[in-house]
Amino acid sequence: MVRTASGGAGFGTAAGDGLVSIGTVLARLRDEFPEVTVSKIRFLEAEGLVEPRRTASGYRKFSAQDVERLAQILRMQRDHYLPLRVIREHLDALARGEQVVLPAPGQPQDPLDGPGEPDGERPTAARLGRIELLAAAEVTEPELAAWESYGLIAQAAGGGYDAETVTVAKLLADLGRFGLEPRHLRAVKAGADREAGLIEQMVAPLRRHRNPQTRAHAEATAKELAGLSVRLHAALVQTALGIRPQ
């Protein structure tokens, strides 16, 4: 792989490799971006940030430049919390050969958002609008409205939806296909809120620390605890149902 101006590893292929499918793109990106999904790539395409070619049958085909562009977009979101509007402006500037200065990692990106947040507070990642959420999760407006009415999905403080809400919406839709309605899932949401509250109590003192490394450790600890909590929950449900873990 090659290095790019944005500081990440490049995803270019040797000349003559040709175009690749969306599945191949996903495999190439996942080493650096394990959370990326096919839906995410399709959403970025729908927003006009990447324009893969189409075969006669309608299948997407991506060039090496498309894959590198996707990597740049994902880095700007992950490392600098840039909204898609600003990312598009940066990419257009780079295409014109202009120099682009990105905000410091973890700091708000847009002058309209105001000055940096005070020590001890976490930066806010780019949010999705309602239409963006519907497109990314591939769900309908009535479905989203029903989930919101039961408190399964809610807008973040200040408006918009967190990126993780896409995953929640897709899982709710999948469960709905088995006949589980929003009213059935309120207990699951309540349990998740209790687990999150417990984890928050454990890492809150670290998050308030003035040392940036300590605050970063708090985020890593919270993520690890969340993962263990999810695994425990799955094991307990399987045990209750008499299902052998695979």
96 vs 127: which has the higher pLDDT? 96
Is residue 145's pLDDT more than 90?
A: yes
Beta bridge partners of 13: none
Domains and their CATH numbers in the chain: 22-113 (1.10.1660.10), 130-241 (no CATH)
For residues 2-7, give the mean pLDDT: 45
For residues 187-206, give the mean pLDDT: 88
Measured CA angle at 195 (ends 191, 200), to 5 deg: 145
For residues 100-121, give the mean pLDDT: 48
The answer to pTM > 0.75 is: no
Q: Token digits for 41?
A: 């790539």
The predicted structure's pLDDT at residue 203: 83
HSE toward the beta carbon, residue 48, CA cutoff 13 A: 4
11-58 pLDDT per residue, tens: 544 334 589 999 999 999 998 988 888 888 988 888 889 999 999 888
Is residue 184's pLDDT more than 60?
A: yes
- How many Å apart are CA 43 and CA 136, to the nearest integer? 5
Label residues 161-178 b or e (16+ Cβ within 10 Å = b): bbbebbebbbebbeebee
Task: Give the chain's mean pLDDT.
Answer: 81
For residues 185-197, give the mean pLDDT: 90
Q: What is the 3-state secondary structure (H, E, C) of the chain?
A: CCECCCCCECCCCCCCCCCECHHHHHHHHCCCCCCCCHHHHHHHHHCCCCCCEECCCCCEEECHHHHHHHHHHHHHHHHHCCCHHHHHHHHHHHHCCCCCCCCCCCCCCCHHHCCCCCCCCCCCCCCECHHHHHHHHCCCHHHHHHHHHCCCCCCCCCCCECCHHHHHHHHHHHHHCCCCCHHHHHHHHHHHHHHHHHHHHHHHHHHCCCCHHHHHHHHHHHHHHHHHHHHHHHHHHHHHHCCCCC
The predicted structure's pLDDT at residue 94: 86
What's the full length of the chain, in residues? 246
218 vs 111: which has the higher pLDDT? 218
Q: pLDDT band at 142, cuts 50/70/90?
A: very high
The predicted structure's pLDDT at residue 2: 40
Q: pLDDT band at 211, cuts 50/70/90?
A: confident
Q: pLDDT band at 7, cuts 50/70/90?
A: low
At 71, the amino acid letter reads A
Is residue 246's pLDDT more than 70?
A: no
For residues 72-98, give the mean pLDDT: 85
The predicted structure's pLDDT at residue 64: 93
CB-based contact 9:68 (threshold 8 Å):
no
45 vs 3: which has the higher pLDDT? 45
